Amino acid sequence: MDMTYAGAEPKVARRKRSAIARHAAPYLFISPWILGFLFFTLGPLVFSLTMSFYDWPVVGERTFVGLDNYRTMIMDDPQFWESLWITVKFAAIYVPFNIVMSFLLALMLHNITFASGFFRTAFYLPSVISGVALVTIWSWIYSKEYGLLNFMLSFVGIDGPNWLGDPNLAIVAIIIASLWGLGGTMLILLTGLKAIPKELYEAATVSGVPGWAQMLFITLPMLGPMLLFTFITSIISAFQQLTIALLLTKGGPLGSTYFFAMYIYDNAFKYFDMGYAAAGSWVMFIIVLALSLGVMRWSAAWVYYEGEVRQNDGEGHA
Amino acid sequence: MAAIRIENLRKGFGSLEVLKGINLDIADGEFVCFLGPSGCGKSTLLRSIAGLEELDSGSIHLGDRDITDLRSAKRDIAMVFQNYALYPHMNVRKNLSFGLALNGMKRDEIDRRVNNAADILRISELLHRKPRQLSGGQRQRVAIGRAIVREPKLFLLDEPLSNLDAGLRVTMRVELAALHERLGVTMIYVTHDQVEAMTLSDRVVVLDKGKVSQFGTPLELFYQPANLFVAGFIGSPRMNFVTANVVRQDRSELTLSGGGLVRDLTLETLSSTVVAKDKPVTIGIRPDKLELVSPEEAHLVGDVRLVERLGTESHVHIGLENGSDMTAVVRGTHPVANRERIHLRIPPEHCHLFDADGKAIARALDPETQMLINQEKSKRVA
């Protein structure tokens, strides 16, 4: 009797241990990602939110100020509104141009049969160049005296302007430089175009549907999810615009390219007011989140998903 | 409705010539299948008729019109695609009316055509649904409906049933036949499934390597194959072939010997047929016509390699003494077993004969079969 009991105990313990191991195994496998997420995403997020409620100099005493940073920014800081307005202006031009030009390039690459691989690489290449290298190239292109752009304009008799010195042109120059990296967006749309079954176009061709209608009623709706994705990522990257402006114009001339991200950057690393900069980051986060949610909501009217069944579509699968 | 005439049609992709001079005359209101193995050019031929492929040479006439250089939309045709090609973001009504609306047709006329097609295909209650909410058969109906609403002179169907399961395929096959009967319009149907071709068609075009191998009624193809390719391609299990030599020709009587035969085979040809003596010929015999006999009566001897029991019949796979393979169909309960030595007789009246080039040597059919073929032909003419 005793022997049986003594023999059974380790067996139960073993079973228990193996059950724990079985349950723990999946979590162990994903633990590197979870740790990364906790330390590099969620942690800084919570930390910056906390920071935004403090007067937080880099060196010295931190003081809890509640919502003061937010109140001051919105009520008493004209630079906040100016930088936000410049960013909104930039986004309003950059986002549609980025999508339309990427789409047209993708369409062109989709339809050419000659050296398509070469052109695909050529158009994508600028988007893998680092921001600093890109700015160096563009500062040379935009240079008033020896810039490539003005040199080319001189061939058609135009005396090129001071692109980076004119408050009205500087933002245009930054938009053009930013559009140079549209290769990523183009590649996403090109993939989307390639995924549209060619029979849809053939069926339309046989039915006498003209080319423009095929584009409008087949290509664009079929690209809906990709267009939505690029729309949202373009908005995010427009609001995060910092590198090009910081290195190319330093926010000038006369603050005409002083983007919201630069406003946050200056508060953090020029004025060392980390709490105020964190509050700015959270304002940017809320604006981008609100815009993205708005676009997502609006997209219900024009984005079609293959697997999705909507309430008014019918009665489900036959 | 309109007849279609194709003359010397050639089409290649780069250095690969896919269609090598196709000539066809398809009558008004006929249901014709393009049948052949993968890569034979049947889909390319259909797409050429649709105007989706540019021809290298040749011409296509639909009725009195030369449509060779016309745009697809101007050809007065409609096409049903293998994977339906329904617009996934449009509901069924929009799918049906899309082409019509963009061609400036009036709303009333569009509604009339859409409702009429929906009635014919019994999809009226599905008009508000999106394609993803339809079953395979329903999607296929919508694809056909999109062709019907155009009220074309010619229907082109590119393997429209190949994505359906076996049961649904049979149902849709019957429905397609009924639809053709009802609309009376010329239909060209591409398939690699000979059962579809044989059951649906008035006539079948058998294509092989970009050429028309034979164009005839289903029974003609089965009982009077023009060449070895058609003989081997039509019929399941496929026809058995045995090589032999002509050792004697006495008027219309041929005596064959050697090759795979263990005993001379004497058979009748049409009196006009002359076959060179000592030239090799190929004997073709359908598996269900082979007879299991005693050793004295046998033309062929072999060992059973496998017996497939299908219930009403059994397929017996045999390895002949000369190394070639053969299949015999016997009744389902026949006691034949694996590794058994087997003796087979070729009934002369049921065998086909092909010359050294693979062309059929004409033989008379039994009166009953000939009458059936004649009936099929006269039905087509009527």
pLDDT in tens, A194-224: 999 999 999 999 998 999 999 999 999 999 9
Confidence tier at A169 by pLDDT (50, 70, 90): confident
Chain B nearest C-alpha distance from A313 (Å): 6
Q: Report ipTM (2 d.p.).
A: 0.83
Segment A228-254, tens digit of pLDDT: 999 999 999 999 888 888 888 888 788
Q: Point out which residues pair with B203 in neighbouring strands.
A: B32
Residues of A in contact with B88 (CB under 8 A): 222, 304, 306
Using the predicted structure, report yes or no on whether residue B194 has a pLDDT greater than 70.
Answer: yes
Chain B nearest C-alpha distance from A187 (Å): 23
Question: Which A residues in the span 114-173 are in contact with B, Cβ-Cβ below 8 Å?
Answer: none
Residues of B in contact with A200 (CB under 8 A): 85, 87
**Cβ atoms of B197 and B7 closer than 8 Å:** no
Contact B73 A206 (CB under 8 A): yes
Using the predicted structure, report yes or no on whether residue A166 has a pLDDT greater than 80.
Answer: yes
Contact A208 B133 (CB under 8 A): no
* DSSP code of residue B132: G
Using the predicted structure, report yes or no on whether residue A309 has a pLDDT greater than 60.
Answer: no
**Cβ atoms of B161 and B172 closer than 8 Å:** yes
From first CA to last CA, the distance across chain A in angstroms is 64
Question: A52-61, A167-176, B226-235, B348-357 — which one is most confidently predicted on average?
Answer: B226-235
Tokens of A15: 């079973």
Chain B nearest C-alpha distance from A291 (Å): 26
Confidence tier at B345 by pLDDT (50, 70, 90): very high
Residues of A in contact with B100 (CB under 8 A): 207
Confidence tier at A316 by pLDDT (50, 70, 90): very low
Contact B103 A204 (CB under 8 A): no
Among A14-18, A21-25, A163-167, which stretch is predicted with the lowest mean pLDDT? A14-18
Question: Which B residues in the span 41-70 are in contact with A, Cβ-Cβ below 8 Å?
Answer: 50-52
Give the pLDDT of residue B382.
54
Using the predicted structure, report yes or no on whether residue A1 has a pLDDT greater than 50.
Answer: no
Q: What's the mean per-residue pLDDT of chain A?
A: 86
User: Across residues B34-55, what is the average pLDDT?
Assistant: 93
Using the predicted structure, report yes or no on whether residue A102 has a pLDDT greater than 70.
Answer: yes
Contact A318 B129 (CB under 8 A): yes
Annotate B34-90 with DSSP letters as a single string. Answer: EE-STTSSHHHHHHHHHTSS--SEEEEEETTEE-TTS-GGGS-EEEE-TT----TTS
Give the pLDDT of residue A9.
59
Confidence tier at A308 by pLDDT (50, 70, 90): low
In terms of Cα–Cα distance, which of B149, B150, B153 is closest to B186?
B153
Give the pLDDT of residue B380.
60
Residues of A in contact with B150 (CB under 8 A): 207
Q: Which residue of A207, A219, A228, A310 to mutate against B (max B Cβ within 10 Å)?
A: A207
User: Across residues A125-133, what is the average pLDDT?
Assistant: 83
Q: Could you tell me the pTM of the whole model?
A: 0.81
**Cβ atoms of B289 and B324 closer than 8 Å:** no
Contact A313 B91 (CB under 8 A): yes
A309 touches chain B (CB under 8 A): yes
In this complex, which of A205, A221, A306 lies closest to B132 when CB atoms are compared? A306
Q: In what order do the strands lie in the sheet with B291-292?
A: B291-292, B341-345, B300-309, B313-320, B325-331
Tokens of B186: 């010329």
Contact B138 A200 (CB under 8 A): no
Share of chain B above pLDDT 70, in %: 97
Contact B146 A307 (CB under 8 A): no
Contact B102 A304 (CB under 8 A): no
- CATH class, domain B237-364, is mainly beta
Comma-separated ranges of CATH 3.40.50.300 domains in chain B: 4-232
Q: Which residue of A201, A205, A206 to mutate against B (max B Cβ within 10 Å)?
A: A206
Q: Point out which residues pair with B121 in neighbouring strands.
A: none
Backbone Cα Rg of chain B: 24
Confidence tier at A8 by pLDDT (50, 70, 90): low
Comma-separated ranges of CATH 2.40.50.100 domains in chain B: 237-364
CATH number 3.30.1360.120 is the correct assignment for the domain at B4-232: no
Give the pLDDT of residue A315.
39
Give the pLDDT of residue B375.
82
Confidence tier at A2 by pLDDT (50, 70, 90): very low
A199 compared with B104, residue with greater pLDDT: A199
B328: helix, strand or coil? strand
B135 touches chain A (CB under 8 A): yes
Using the predicted structure, report yes or no on whether residue A23 has a pLDDT greater than 70.
Answer: yes
A200 touches chain B (CB under 8 A): yes
Tokens of B16: 């690969």
B197 touches chain A (CB under 8 A): no
In this complex, which of A206, A213, A314 lies closest to B130 when CB atoms are compared? A314
User: Across residues A35-44, what is the average pLDDT?
Assistant: 93
Which residue does chain A place closest to B48, by CA atoms? A206
Confidence tier at B62 by pLDDT (50, 70, 90): very high
Contact A206 B91 (CB under 8 A): no
Residues of B in contact with A318 (CB under 8 A): 126, 129, 133-135, 138
User: Phi and psi (nearest 5°) for B242?
Assistant: -130, 130
Most distant CA atoms of chain A, gap in Å:
108
Residues of A in contact with B73 (CB under 8 A): 205-209
Contact A202 B79 (CB under 8 A): yes
A203 touches chain B (CB under 8 A): yes
Rounded CA-CA distance B314/B330 in Å is: 5
In this complex, which of A210, A218, A313 lies closest to B130 when CB atoms are compared? A313
User: Across residues A123-128, what is the average pLDDT?
Assistant: 84
User: Across residues B144-157, what is the average pLDDT?
Assistant: 91
∠ at Cα A291 (A286, A293), nearest 5°?
A: 95
Segment A267-305, tens digit of pLDDT: 999 888 899 999 999 999 999 999 999 999 998 888 887
In this complex, which of B79, B89, B100 lies closest to A206 when CB atoms are compared? B79
Segment B239-282, tens digit of pLDDT: 999 999 888 887 778 888 888 888 899 888 776 666 777 678 89
In this complex, which of A203, A309, A314 lies closest to B128 when CB atoms are compared? A314
In this complex, which of A203, A304, A309 lies closest to B79 when CB atoms are compared? A203
Using the predicted structure, report yes or no on whether residue B192 has a pLDDT greater than 70.
Answer: yes
In terms of Cα–Cα distance, which of A262, A238, A288 is closest to A93?
A238
Residues of B in contact with A317 (CB under 8 A): 133, 135
SS (H, E, C) chain A: CHHHHHHHHHHHHHHHHHHHHHHHHHHHHHHHHHHHHHHHHHHHHHHHHHHCCEECECCCCCEECCCHHHHHHHHHCHHHHHHHHHHHHHHHHHHHHHHHHHHHHHHHHHHCCCCHHHHHHHHHHHHHCCHHHHHHHHHHHHCCCCCHHHHHHHHCCCCCCCCCCCHHHHHHHHHHHHHCCCHHHHHHHHHHHHHCCHHHHHHHHHCCCCHHHHHHHHHHHHCHHHHHHHHHHHHHHHHCCCHHHHHHCCCCCCCCCCCHHHHHHHHHHCCCEHHHHHHHHHHHHHHHHHHHHHHHHHHCCCCCCCCCCCHHHCCCCC
Q: Which residue of B100, B130, B148 to mutate against A (max A Cβ within 10 Å)?
A: B130
Contact B102 A222 (CB under 8 A): no
